[in-house]
Amino acid sequence: MSAGRNGRRPARTAAATPACGSPKASHATPHAKISASPAPMATTLAHHAEARAERRAGQQDDHRLERERYGRERERNADLRRDDGENGDEEDGVRALRGGQTCVRCNRVEQRATFETLETGIHVPRFYCMRIALTIAGSDSSGGAGIQADLKTFAACGVYGTSAVTAVTAQNSLGITAWEAVPTELVIAQIEAVATDFPPDAVKTGMLATAAIVEATGAAIASLGLPKLVVDPVMIATGGTRLLEEDAVAAMVAELFPQAEVVTPNIPEAALLAGCPVANVEDMRTAARRILALGPRVVVVKGGHLSPGPDVIDVVCMRDRAFDLRAARIDTPHTHGTGCTFASAIAARLALGDAVEDAIRSARTYLEGALRSAPGLGRGRGPLNHFWRVY
């Protein structure tokens, strides 16, 4: 079933299948769910270019009107922020005299008050910048994956989370029963509404559903200059439910990969993107190099889908070097949302200013803790404990 002109599709129903966002663990379904003989990426990209031209011909007037309307709203918001900034100059001076610290970012003052106790016993405010991350992904009604997992991860990492919903899914620990894409124009509106008032320090994408949404997301990220993009190329749920239309794969490669700081495919996704089977660690390295050639600056191929063994190995491939990350496999059925959590943890660490390698290592440590302390909820693949450092 193809998407309509606005990227909307009817809700899909299916027998309960393992839900999206749980593709990284020892109990994952083998990658036979994805075609073992994918078309060469060059051919796929050529077909995507033709399909994109047809879609854009029908959408041109609508998108022009939307851009004009949002442009007017951005100008109005910018005027309001300038007025607020001018009116706040005097207040900022008073805070400075009182010993407060302010942080100016993107022509505005972001402050969050905490309190320090001086030797006199008096509590005085201390101000600092809180970093912002944006997730552009689908909603998971069970709260274990998708934007819900992303926002929990951002909060656990000390980052303020914002979101743009691309699809709504009906799912729980047993699987997905239905999903529907959000209209493309509404996805654009969410991204612009957030970015013009809460400029993100990093962006993470997850389930994007349709080619139209992928293209709109890529265009919005480029036009708004959103930094430090982490792409989790969510394509197919563990049980086989397709979460990304086939023509959207080429759109993702063409529109998002060249802008991406990090791309985080699992084994099935890496096999499809690289156009080669991935059955062992050496295959993972080959796939990572091929995906790197598609445009991203860093590729992390996650090894949770490989045959069960004592260790899980992730392959990290950068422009100038490559290395493996190895850790003991955690024997748990509660793996729902691991892919979303890992990618959003990378985005959160990048937002905080970490170098990309440090961000990846920190994200993996965080994910391992969330897996080890999973609360054991649900009758199937249960969620993680995103706040394991707190409780």
Q: Give residue 18's identity as a one-letter amino acid code.
A: P
Q: Give residue 148's identity as a one-letter amino acid code.
A: Q
Question: Is 344:154 a contact under the CB 8 Å cutoff?
Answer: yes
Cα–Cα distance for residue pair 268/266, rounded to 1 Å: 6
338 belongs to the catalytic site:
yes
* DSSP type of residue 236: B
302 belongs to the catalytic site:
yes
- Of the candidates 177, 184, 240, the residue with the CA atom closest to the CA atom of residue 209: 184
Out of 340, 341, 380, 382, pick the active-site residue. 340
Out of 143, 303, 337, 382, pick the active-site residue. 337
Q: Which two tokens stand for residue 110?
A: 């972001």
Count CB-CB contacts under 10 A for residue 229: 28
Across the chain, the runs of DSSP E, i.e. the strands, are: 103-105, 108-110, 112-117, 123-128, 132-140, 160-172, 175-181, 202-205, 229-231, 260-263, 298-301, 311-318, 322-328
Coil/strand/helix, residue 32:
helix
Out of 302, 304, 341, 382, pick the active-site residue. 302
Out of 166, 169, 177, 335, pick the active-site residue. 335
295 belongs to the catalytic site:
no
**277 burial level (CB within 10 Å; 0-12, 13-18, 19+):** middle
Cα–Cα distance for residue pair 104/194, rounded to 1 Å: 18
Nearest 5°: CA angle at 147, between 238 and 288? 55
Q: Which two tokens stand for residue 256?
A: 């998002």
210 belongs to the catalytic site:
no
Cα–Cα distance for residue pair 197/160, rounded to 1 Å: 13
Question: Is 103:130 a contact under the CB 8 Å cutoff?
Answer: no
340 belongs to the catalytic site:
yes
Largest Cα–Cα distance of the chain, in whole Å?
72
Out of 138, 146, 303, 339, pick the active-site residue. 339
Question: Is 213:144 a contact under the CB 8 Å cutoff?
Answer: no
Residues with a known catalytic role: 302, 335, 337-340
